[in-house]
């Protein structure tokens, strides 16, 4: 049981490697002991009750038990808490006073990840969850001619949606994203980075160069975001290329606990990205989860892999990169249009990067523009918000954001996470569309 002699800690949170290569990681009995320890600390604290549904489920299990303590909860019910966690990391970053370096060493998301990994290894993961986390595969198929039309029509057809609900457990009322017939990597195929062409002479002529990692979502679902990011970077005299090859970052599979797929995707992505970093490029992606995967999660999984660490150091959130340009006096601040009142949802996986409010700071450079940040989880996660059994919780979690938007009545609103932006838009139900901050920047520049 935890030592009650110290209440909380004031040190900055730190993260330990996952150690998935050690036998103890896969020991289910050891995992259950750790779950009991962490659940007991959480039960005694309860600061995180408002963050997501994992904590209410845990506290309800405790309160309904005979002892009203964690020892009254059946071990078989521990997984009910795990199933509600989608690894947003907010409990770790903003609420828990017992994270490392505190002696209690509570890393709730990593314990959940370990539980998910053991569940996956035991073959207890649903086919649906394996399918919907295969974002690259789905995108490749859904973007093909004829199939593309069938998928987009089917996503709006009530009969098809009822069948998906009853057979796969994809909620009939959730808004599924459209798929583009022209993915971003097809549209911008001429930009593929060629290491052989990155000569020293060429490098001397270019001050700033980036590799755009398009991400599954911006490649297949909203390539317009990739278009806007390229426009903004080139407007600021930054050369933009695409990685020679690109696969899913691995975050959906990580959240599933499928660590073998994560390793496979790492083996496919990292050597290509490392080659571009060696040639002097920074790397940018417009989806915070993908940035976080390369910046934090892969280094915690593979702390001794020098290529992983080099790629992590070179990876940037778009507004983190633009803010660096601003600090160097290289950001174009000649804006043609004001934006007025902007409500800006701070995505969880951007906050976890601990880069500061860079999006807000850049948008506030636009004349006659005020930005109000909303720091709450949207509850979607990409998969949690489409499942039959969890959509109702995703819609509940997003309500505080919707209320703030209704009170603020902004001229524009949006999120760094385009999926979160769409989820907010669907729940706001006002007809006003969410706009990615990069799109807002294009609007202000007049490009």
Question: How many other C-beta atoms can be found within 10 angstroms of the C-beta atom of residue 246?
Answer: 23
List pLDDT tens digits, range 62-93: 999 999 999 999 999 999 999 999 999 999 98
Q: Facing residues of 412 across strands?
A: 342
Question: Fold for domain 184-316?
Answer: Rossmann fold (3.40.50)
Who's near 298: CB < 8 A, 6+ residues apart? 250, 266, 270, 305, 308, 311, 312
Q: In the predicted model, what is the mean pLDDT of residues 299-309?
A: 97
Residue whose entry in the numeric block shows the structure tokens 């994560």 = 262
Domain layout of the chain by residue ranges: 23-121, 127-167, 184-316, 334-445
Q: Picking from 24-28, 115-119, 408-412, 427-431, which range would have the lowest pLDDT averaged per residue? A: 427-431
**DSSP 3-state of 240:** strand
Task: Examine the pLDDT at 101 and tell me if it is beyond 60.
Answer: yes
**DSSP 3-state of 23:** helix
Q: In the predicted model, what is the mean pLDDT of residues 295-312?
A: 97
pLDDT at residue 207, rounded to an integer: 73
Task: Examine the pLDDT at 355 and tell me if it is beyond 60.
Answer: yes
- Higher pLDDT: 367 or 202? It is 367
Q: Picking from 8-17, 20-29, 312-321, which range would have the lowest pLDDT averaged per residue? A: 8-17
Percent of the chain with pLDDT over 70: 96
Q: In the predicted model, what is the mean pLDDT of residues 431-440?
A: 96
pLDDT at residue 197, rounded to an integer: 67
Degrees (nearest 5) of the Cα angle 298, 301, 303?
Answer: 90
Who's near 431: CB < 8 A, 6+ residues apart? none
| Nearest in space to 260 (alpha carbons), one of 230, 294, 229, 301 | 301
Percent of the chain with pLDDT over 90: 91
Residue 102 backbone phi and psi in degrees, to 5:
-60, 145
pLDDT at residue 1, rounded to an integer: 44
| Helix or strand (DSSP H, E) at 374 | strand 369-374
**DSSP 3-state of 106:** coil
Domain 184-316 and domain 334-445, same fold? Reply is: yes
Query: Biggest alpha carbon distance in the chain?
Result: 74
Rg (CA), the chain: 22
Q: In the predicted model, what is the mean pLDDT of residues 114-135?
A: 96
Average pLDDT of the residues of the chain: 93
List pLDDT tens digits, range 212-253: 999 999 999 999 999 999 999 999 999 999 999 999 999 999
Q: In the predicted model, what is the mean pLDDT of residues 431-445?
A: 96
> DSSP per residue over 108-143, as a string?
HHHHHHHHHHHHHHTT-S-HHHHHHT-HHHHHHHHT
Q: Please say whether the beta carbons of 433 and 415 come within 8 A.
A: no
pLDDT at residue 11, rounded to an integer: 73
Residue 118: both structure tokens together: 């053991």
For residue 322, the Cα-to-chain-centroid distance in whole angstroms is 20
pTM equals 0.93
Distance (Å, rounded) from C-alpha 54 to C-alpha 60?
A: 10
pLDDT at residue 195, rounded to an integer: 78
Question: How many other C-beta atoms can be found within 10 angstroms of the C-beta atom of residue 155?
Answer: 18
Residue 9 confidence class, pLDDT cut points 50, 70, 90: low
Question: Fold for domain 334-445?
Answer: Rossmann fold (3.40.50)
pLDDT at residue 6, rounded to an integer: 55
Residue 5 confidence class, pLDDT cut points 50, 70, 90: very low
Distance (Å, rounded) from C-alpha 227 to C-alpha 83?
A: 36
Q: At what angle do helices 108-121 and 28-45 cross, to 10 degrees?
A: 150
Task: Examine the pLDDT at 43 and tell me if it is beyond 70.
Answer: yes
List pLDDT tens digits, range 171-199: 999 999 999 999 999 999 999 988 776 64
3-state SS record for 286-314:
CCHHHHHHHHHHHHHHCCCCHHHHHHHHH
């Amino acid at each position: 049981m935890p030592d009650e002699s110290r209440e909380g800690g004031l040190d900055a949170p730190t993260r330990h490697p996952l150690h998935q290569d050690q036998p103890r990681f896969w020991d289910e009995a050891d995992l259950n002991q750790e779950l009991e320890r962490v659940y007991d600390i959480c039960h005694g604290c309860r600061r995180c009750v408002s963050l997501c549904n994992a904590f209410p489920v845990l506290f309800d299990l405790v309160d309904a038990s005979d002892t009203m303590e964690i020892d009254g909860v059946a071990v078989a019910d521990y997984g009910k808490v795990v199933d509600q966690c989608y690894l947003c990391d907010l409990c770790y970053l903003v609420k828990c006073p017992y994270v490392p370096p505190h002696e209690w060493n509570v890393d709730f998301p990593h314990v959940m990840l370990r539980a998910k990994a053991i569940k996956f290894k035991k073959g207890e993961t649903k086919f649906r969850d394996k399918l919907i986390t295969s974002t690259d595969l789905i995108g490749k198929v859904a973007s093909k001619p004829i199939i593309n039309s069938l998928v987009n029509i089917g996503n709006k057809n009530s009969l098809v949606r009822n069948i998906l609900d009853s057979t796969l457990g994809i909620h009939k009322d959730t808004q599924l994203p459209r798929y583009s017939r022209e993915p971003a990597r097809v549209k911008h195929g001429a930009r593929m980075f060629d290491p052989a062409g990155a000569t020293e002479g060429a490098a001397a002529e270019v001050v700033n160069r980036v590799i755009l990692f398009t991400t599954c979502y911006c490649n297949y679902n909203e390539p317009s975001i990739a278009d806007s990011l390229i426009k903004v970077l080139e407007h600021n005299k930054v050369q933009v290329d695409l990685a020679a090859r690109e696969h899913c970052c691995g975050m959906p599979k990580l959240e599933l606990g499928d660590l073998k797929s994560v390793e496979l995707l790492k083996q496919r992505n990292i050597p290509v990205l490392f080659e571009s970093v060696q040639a002097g490029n920074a790397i940018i992606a417009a989806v915070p989860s993908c940035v976080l995967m390369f910046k934090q999660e892969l280094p915690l999984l593979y702390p001794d892999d020098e290529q992983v660490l080099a790629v992590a150091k070179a990876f940037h959130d778009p507004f983190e990169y633009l803010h660096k340009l601003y600090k160097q006096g290289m950001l174009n601040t000649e804006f043609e249009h004001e934006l007025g009142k902007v409500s800006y949802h701070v995505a969880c996986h951007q906050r976890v990067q601990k880069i500061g409010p860079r999006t807000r700071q850049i948008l506030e450079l636009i004349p006659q523009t005020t930005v109000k940040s909303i720091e709450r989880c949207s509850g979607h996660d990409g998969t949690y918000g489409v499942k039959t059994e969890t959509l109702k919780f995703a819609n509940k979690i997003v309500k505080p954001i919707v209320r703030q938007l209704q009170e603020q009545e902004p001229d524009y609103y949006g999120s760094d996470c385009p999926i979160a932006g769409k989820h907010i838009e669907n729940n706001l139900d006002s007809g006003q569309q969410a706009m990615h901050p990069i799109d807002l920047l294009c609007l202000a520049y007049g490009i």
